[in-house]
């Protein structure tokens, strides 16, 4: 049902009156280029803070305690499926509605659902902290309990980010990501120095999520009285959840499987390689796809051309070639400087992992574009390939090289399956024109 006369602000007196004035519109290409540049800078700052956080925690607390922190981070990553699903749906429908009051109605509707989902998930995890801690071999259940507090605000954070993304408020969106990473690092390091150990490090993770949920505020154009809007559908929510479940599996399951099949040292080296290799995916997702998605979603459904996908594909391809070249030319330097001399020996695998990540990143551009325009089956296809990745590594894990080759083969096959049907629907001149 449409939400009428609802206000998205803590102080209704501050809410501006919806205006019918027409705002000057930038071209789609300009919007995507500017948005991509802003998000790429934000992504670099976020990764600097994340690397600093991991390095400080590992050096100050040691391998065992650092493993406990990683267990908590893994749980947060699993919960990110819900947060990212809300973000994607919110961005799509905020972009699709034209009036500010309609955009505000979308945000208001999704915020209520997000708080219900997030509080329920956080509550379940808090109540189950003891058995979860036992299963993960975590020494204190309060590590899980503290994380549950942050998860209780994670889905609303996704709605907020989707709202900023939907109106192309990329400076605010980038600031929000950097704020979360910065608070996690500085507060975490401070609490660990103060003697709070793992509890301090995990408490900083939850505090960073809660802070990002409120700072900065959503743009003023979304803090107006809500009116009727094209509501997000159940099918859209399912599509987003399926996509992000597949994404989380593809980006993380190989690390868990390698840890199971290999001794601790090579498993640790593989984790380090994957951490660097996935920087390419984060750059593609945060820096390019986040800028493409609202522009493509706002385009008219009757527009049959590949509207707005040519430029993102070129940007991701360019980033991929640069990243693979650097990994191939300077693998030992990269691994040695970041992780130390013990990680240099098989650093040559870094370029192969980067190639697998590049193939997946290009696939995600096609998948996200399809999802921005309609209910697509590509998310389900990705989920199938995530299962195939589990099966493939389970069958072929004679060496780390073999594991990475499984990723390359499957990611190449998925790229072909999402790209070929798409390109058949859009002739070459139209694709070039969209660039």
Give 268-316 pLDDT, tens digit per residue.
677 778 877 878 887 777 667 766 766 666 665 555 455 567 788 888 8
**355 or 251: which carries more pLDDT confidence?**
355
How high is the pLDDT of residue 92? 82
- Residues 156, 115 contacting (CB under 8 angstroms): yes
Mean pLDDT of the chain: 79
Residue for token digits 């008219």? 300
How high is the pLDDT of residue 12? 37
Q: Name residue 225's beta-bridge partners.
A: 7
Confidence of residue 18 (pLDDT cuts 50, 70, 90): very low
Residue 4 zone, left/alpha/beta (φ > 0; ψ -120 to 50; rest):
beta
Most distant CA atoms of the chain, gap in Å: 65
Across 196-223, average pLDDT? 90
Lowest mean pLDDT among 87-101, 196-210, 261-275: 261-275
How high is the pLDDT of residue 148? 94
366: closest CA among 426, 326, 302? Answer: 426
Q: How far apart are CA 401 and CA 352, in angstroms?
A: 8
Across 379-403, average pLDDT? 91
Estimate to the nearest angstrom the gap between the alpha carbon of 217 and the chain centroid.
20
CA distances from 122 to 9, 111, 140, 201, 209 (A): 24, 16, 17, 18, 13
Q: How far apart are CA 18 and CA 104, in angstroms?
A: 10
Across 411-418, average pLDDT? 93
Q: How far apart are CA 109 and CA 236, in angstroms?
A: 14
For 185, phi and psi rounded to 5 degrees? -70, -55
Identify the three-state secondary structure at position 225.
strand
């Amino acid at each position: 049902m449409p939400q009428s006369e609802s206000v998205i602000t803590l102080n209704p007196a501050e809410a501006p009156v919806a205006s019918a004035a027409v705002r000057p519109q930038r071209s789609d290409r300009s919007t995507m280029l500017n948005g991509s540049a802003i998000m790429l800078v934000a992504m670099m700052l976020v990764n600097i803070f994340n690397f600093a956080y991991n390095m400080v925690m590992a050096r100050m607390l040691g391998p065992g305690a650092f493993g406990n922190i990683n267990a908590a981070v893994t749980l947060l990553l699993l919960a990110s499926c819900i947060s990212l699903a809300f973000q994607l749906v919110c961005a799509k429908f905020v972009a699709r509605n034209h009036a500010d009051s309609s955009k505000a109605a979308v945000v208001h509707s999704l915020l209520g659902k997000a708080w219900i989902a997030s509080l329920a998930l956080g509550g379940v995890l808090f109540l189950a902290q003891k058995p979860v801690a036992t299963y993960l071999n975590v020494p204190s259940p309060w590590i899980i309990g503290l994380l549950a507090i942050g998860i209780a605000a994670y889905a609303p954070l996704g709605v907020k980010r989707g709202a900023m993304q939907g109106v192309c408020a990329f400076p605010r969106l980038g600031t929000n990501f950097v704020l979360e990473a910065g608070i996690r690092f500085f507060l975490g390091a401070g609490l660990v120095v103060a003697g709070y150990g793992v509890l301090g490090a995990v408490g900083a993770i939850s505090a960073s999520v809660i802070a990002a949920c409120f700072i900065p505020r959503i743009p003023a154009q979304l803090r107006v009285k809500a009116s009727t809007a094209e509501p997000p559908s159940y099918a859209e929510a399912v599509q987003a959840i399926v996509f992000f479940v597949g994404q989380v599996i593809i980006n993380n399951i190989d690390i868990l499987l390698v840890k199971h099949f290999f001794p601790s040292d090579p498993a640790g080296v593989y984790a380090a390689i994957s951490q660097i290799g996935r920087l390419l995916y984060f750059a593609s997702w945060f820096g390019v796809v986040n800028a493409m998605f609202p522009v493509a979603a706002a385009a008219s459904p009757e527009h049959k051309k590949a509207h707005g996908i040519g430029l993102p594909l070129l940007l991701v391809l360019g980033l991929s070639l640069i990243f693979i070249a650097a990994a191939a030319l300077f693998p030992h330097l990269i691994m040695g400087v970041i992780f130390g001399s013990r990680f240099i020996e098989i650093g040559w695998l870094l370029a192969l992992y980067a190639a697998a990540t590049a193939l997946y990143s290009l696939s995600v551009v096609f998948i996200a574009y399809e999802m921005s325009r309609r209910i697509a089956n590509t998310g389900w296809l990705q989920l199938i390939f995530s299962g195939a990745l589990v099966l493939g590594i389970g069958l072929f894990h004679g060496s780390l090289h073999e594991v990475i080759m499984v990723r390359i083969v499957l990611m190449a096959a998925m790229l072909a399956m999402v790209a070929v049907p798409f390109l058949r629907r859009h002739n070459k001149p139209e694709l070039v024109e969209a660039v």
